[in-house]
Amino acid sequence: MGPRAILTYPDPRLRMRSRPVDSFGPDLARLVDELIDTMHAARAIGLAAPQLDVHLRVLTLDVSEGRVRPEVFINPEVLARGSPGMVEESCLSVPGIVASVPRATRVQVRTADRSGNVSVRELEGQSAVCLLHEIDHLDGTLFIDRLPFFERRRVRRQLESTATPGRLEAPSPPGQARRG
């Protein structure tokens, strides 16, 4: 296994809605491991399966100190959320853009783990924000879609003038140069 390439804006595959997971077997376990490996290699705190061109409702988070406790959310369903506030976000699929968007910092979610065990969890702070950001990916939404109209238009023009749809190269292990 190891890190995989990440789709980048304006690739239309990022806009596809993901389907629920209905089989909790070795293929799902392999996908979860690839998500975690890619997330950690990119030094990110979250990653959703659609970013790897897999349109299943699977995402991973790791907001732990030292990024050593990855969490897996399969078929996450938001049950409740707190009042939104403005939070600063960025995204591996929208490289080079950092912007403030409205996002709840407290959320209750029903989710399954990699074995299919369902639980209800409450997250707050960075974990809640990251979870909601990644759930947006499952629905084909990018954080830039949450910007005010004129800011969103400016960012899209900037991205479209400099980016081509495709994939980011899979990150190299620390200490190795990336091929350009």
Residues with active-site annotation: 134
148 upstream amide cis, omega within 30 of 0:
no
Asked if 9 and 161 touch (Cβ cutoff 8 Å), the reply is: no
Q: What is the total residue count of the chain?
A: 180
